[in-house]
Amino acid sequence: MHPAPRVHAWMTMLVLAVICVCMAPLHAEDGYELWLRYHLLATQQAAIYRSHATQLIESASTPTQTVTRAELLRGLGGLLGQAPPSSDAVTSNGAIIVGTPGSSPVIAGLHLDTKSLGHEGYIIRTVEVNGHAATAIVAHDDIGALYGTFHFLRLLQTEQSIDHLDVTQIPHVKLRVLNHWDNLNGQVERGYAGASIWDWWKLPDWRAPRYTDYARANASIGINGTVLNNVNAGAQILTPTYLQKVAALADVFRPYGIRVYLSVRFSAPIEIGHLKTADPLDPQVQRWWRDKADEIYKLIPDFGGFLVKANSEGQPGPQDYHRTHADGANMLADALAPHGGVVMWRAFVYSANGEDRAKQAYDEFKPLDGHFRDNVLIQVKNGPIDFQPREPFSPLFGAMPKTPLMMEFEITKEYLGFATHLVYLGPLFQEVLSSDTMVHGKGSTVAKVIDGSLDHHTLTGMAGVANIGTDRNWSGSDFNQANWYVFGRLAWDPTLSSRTIAEQWVRMTFTNNPAFVKPVVDMMMGSREAAVDYMTPLGLHHIMGPNHHYGPAPWDASEARADWRPVYYNRADHQGIGFDRTRTGSDAVDQYAPAVADEFNDITKTPETLLLWFHHVPWDYRMHSGQTLWYELVAHYTQGVDDVKRMRETWSHMNGYIDPERYQQVATFLAIQQKEAQWWRDACIAYFQSQSGLPLPPGFAPPQHSLKYYQSLTFDFVPGYSSW
Ligand code: GCV
């Protein structure tokens, strides 16, 4: 047989394959690079920056120095099209000098005050060395230089001038931590971005490159800790097999300044230690935890500590043995103290005891102020109930001056539309942080509680429940990445503006083109209020579908426990709507400092955004607008849907400014958001109208379906919920 035809066919296929490869976009955008997309800058901008990047003077002898150098080469190489050569001495204008006085004689020669920067701070300054202008990125410790490097790259990514730099940054908060609610079986509780990124099965041997990218992303925004597993914890994570896996992850994260922490199950001494009790005052139990801590620190010398959910939603805890939360936390704290570890003990506790759920965490923890060991932080959710689209700040902030309180935000959008709704959480985080507790007079903001300045604490922290999973884009949607990003930036500095952070994120993630940046940042900034409007306006809360938390169900009374039923929270009836938490109601208001309590107690002084949180209000109550409450409620719901329509409209004009892949997914997700916003509006209006008995105010469209229809909807599979 003659081989020629076959060779010919093979050649043809090869040529076709080459053509296909050449025609395919070199780099399809899938969101994997997050905000660390070091794509080539516009020609003119790149040329300017190249003159500031002629030499690289650094040292790469420690692991952190090595990753710092790698990031610089990657960043400069990508943004400028070429990375500068390394050298030992400054010989021309435009050198970039990175490191610490200890690692670089050139930096030592600058005589900058690095000691006052602490472990993580840095300076970025334009300096003169040997008569040449240079940019110095200087810190006291290696990790500060890495943080400074990311900051410097951000200046380039966002096209800022780097001619005369003089930046000093020191983090305001010590522990800046992600909380993963990841189960060991790969499911993520309240996760909407695929499965857990921790591949426990293949660890410790296979250390997926994604773990390094995770560490890079976190370090770039100053996150320095990660709790790997769900607060609804199994004891298994503390077994030797899993600790080896945890140690492998700790090894990957260490150069990036990230410590690992674990959520621990309070009853672990029984389940894996085979003791008869987990009583925190039992000497055998105390010994077990001490031994466990010793075992962990042998494997992971810089292990961060434990996060604990105890006596909450069915989890075991010290109260099972008639002990207090302080007894439980202190026992673990004593085990960790010799190694420098901390306990982050959650204040998210409530039970079906008939008391207003919003009051219970305060009632439980306030009396324990001053009873915790020095290495215990109490981790408090931002609001008194549970990460609702809008809540007042938790009354615990400011109420426990002798105890470090950590903020817990939820980055994953359990109550804000899961993966698909575009809701930028920066304004929510900022609203909470800037709330004034008034405990020491005006200006006693929640941010000052968290950064320790209000009551002089040096152990401080902020936690964010992660929205990260195995989806290529990490967070389930491109815009959800902004919520991870803004959390990290605000944990570093809670006084930053969420708008500035959004703008930087947009520039780094998409483009610097002002025709894109301005409208998209505006859209992000309005998105949280839009969601509040179409879900829970005017202080409504907890009216989502029970358990899975997807979609509206203000009518639901099916839960066994009253405090899990939406009707418990909205209390809509023929007279009015809202939860009376005033002094004649549950008196939750008096958990706040007197000035705040008086405001929340008085219906005329309560901000309308929180009206129905604190008051049961007649339908015909006159609002500031002069309209009735019923009118305003319908108007807000309608406004929310209209806002989403406008967001879609804004986005439709963005076509062509960015890659088609991400453009299209955002467009499709916005269409889903509009559909679901309409559903929220219509279902809630239909139900509240069934209670108020009032006609729809003129000019507003009636719900698209009957109340019966909305009540009949069921959902068999809802992401993030199956682990329950
Ligand atoms: C981890 C809410 C969520 C639960 C979560 C809990 C918590 O109730 O719905 O999934 O459990 O908060 O924060 O512990």
pLDDT digits (tens, 9 = 90+) for 313-363: 999 999 999 999 999 999 999 999 999 999 999 999 999 989 999 999 999
Give me the pLDDT at residue 629, please. 98
Question: Which residue in the block uniquely carries the two structure tokens 């309560």?
Answer: 606
Q: Whose CA is nearest to atom 11 of ligand 1?
A: 232
For a mutational test of ligand 1's pocket, the pick from 307, 386, 723, i.e. the residue with the most ligand atoms closer than 8 A to its C-beta, is: 386
Phi, psi of 512, rounded to the nearest 5 degrees: -90, 0
Q: Which ligand 1 atom is at minimum distance from the Cα of 230?
A: 1
Nearest ligand 1 atom to alpha carbon 465: 13
Please tell me the distance from the alpha carbon of residue 125 to that of residue 51, in angstroms, as a whole number: 16
Task: Output the CA 548–ligand 1 centroid distance in Å.
Answer: 11
Strand partners, 133: 128
Query: Which residues are bridge partners to 377 per DSSP?
Result: 344
pLDDT category at 28 given cuts 50, 70, 90 is confident
In the reported structure, the alpha carbon of residue 619 is separated from the centroid of ligand 1 by a whole-number distance in angstroms of: 33
Residue in the structure block whose two tokens are 């434990």: 306
Ligand 1 center to residue 49 CA distance, Å? 47
Cα-to-centroid distance, 77 and ligand 1 (Å)? 43
**Residue 514 CA to ligand 1 centre (angstroms):** 40
| pLDDT value for 723 | 43
Q: What is residue 8's predicted lDDT score, i.e. its pLDDT?
A: 47
Q: How far apart are CA 69 and CA 67, in angstroms?
A: 5
The alpha carbon of 312 and the centre of ligand 1 are apart by a number of angstroms equal to 9
End-to-end CA distance of the chain: 66
Q: How many residues comprise the chain?
A: 724
CA of 380 to the centre of ligand 1 (A): 13
**Nearest residue (CA) to ligand 1, atom 12:** 386
The single residue listed with the structure tokens 């020609």 is 43
Q: Is the pLDDT of residue 716 over 90?
A: no
Give the position, in ligand 1's atom list, of the atom nearest the Cα of 408.
13
**Atom from ligand 1 closest to the CA of residue 381:** 13
- Listed in sequence order, the residues at least 6 apart from 480 whose beta carbon sits closer than 8 Å to its beta carbon are 193, 413, 419, 467
The strand pair at 576-577 and 617-618 is best described as antiparallel
What local confidence, expressed as pLDDT, does residue 1 receive? 35
Q: What is the mean pLDDT of residues 251-258?
A: 99
Secondary structure letter of residue 368 according to DSSP: G
Q: 356: CA distance to ligand 1 center in Å?
A: 18
Query: Which of 179, 180, 181 should be mutated for ligand 1, with most atoms under 8 A from CB?
Result: 181
Mutation test residue for ligand 1: of 190, 264, 407, 542, the one with most atoms within 8 Å of CB: 190
Calculate mean pLDDT across residues 430-454.
98
Say whether pLDDT at 21 is over 50.
no
Q: Which of 663, 656, 670 is nearest to 513 (CA)?
A: 656
Rounded CA-CA distance 82/53 in Å is 9
Which has the closest alpha carbon to 503: 19, 35, 12?
35
Q: How confident is the model at residue 692 (pLDDT cuts 50, 70, 90)?
A: very high
- Residue of the nearest CA to atom 2 in ligand 1? 386
Among 182, 309, 312, 313, say which to mutate for ligand 1: greatest number of ligand atoms within 8 Å of CB: 313
Q: How far is CA 73 from the centre of its chain?
A: 29
DSSP state of 235: G
Nearest CA to ligand 1 atom 8: 386
129-176, pLDDT tens digit by residue? 999 999 999 999 999 999 999 999 999 999 999 999 999 999 999 999
CA 215 – CA 63 distance, rounded (Å): 13
Question: At 16, is the pLDDT very low, low, confident or very high (cuts 50, 70, 90)?
Answer: very low
Tell me the CA–centroid distance for residue 522 and ligand 1, in Å: 31
pTM of the model: 0.96
Compute the average pLDDT of residues 534-552. 97
What confidence score (pLDDT) does residue 27 get?
A: 59
DSSP letter assigned to residue 346: E
Indicate whether 215 pLDDT > 60.
yes
According to the model, what pLDDT value does residue 600 have? 98
Please state the φ and ψ torsions of residue 482, each to the nearest 5 degrees.
Answer: -65, -30
Judge whether residue 679 has pLDDT over 50.
Answer: yes
Mean pLDDT of 7-32: 51
DSSP letter (8 states) at residue 571: -
Express each pLDDT in 396-438 by its tens digit: 999 999 999 999 999 999 999 999 999 999 999 999 999 999 9
Of 288, 283, 332, 281, whose CA–CA distance to 309 is shortest?
Answer: 332
Contact 408, 179 (CB under 8 A): yes
Average pLDDT on 675-702 reads 98
Q: Are 531 and 523 in contact (CB under 8 A)?
A: no
Give catalytic residue positions: 313, 386, 414
Output the average pLDDT for the chain. Answer: 95
Q: What is the pLDDT of residues 29-50, one digit of tens each?
A: 999 999 999 999 999 999 999 9
Using CB distances shorter than 6 Å, the residues near ligand 1 are 181, 189-190, 231-232, 309, 313, 348, 386, 414
- Rounded to 10 degrees, the C-alpha dihedral 435/438/439/444 comes to 60
C-beta separation of 68 from 100 below 8 A: no
| pLDDT of res. 722 | 67
pLDDT above 90 coverage of the chain, percent = 94
pLDDT tens for residues 598-649? 999 999 999 999 999 999 999 999 999 999 999 999 999 999 999 999 999 9
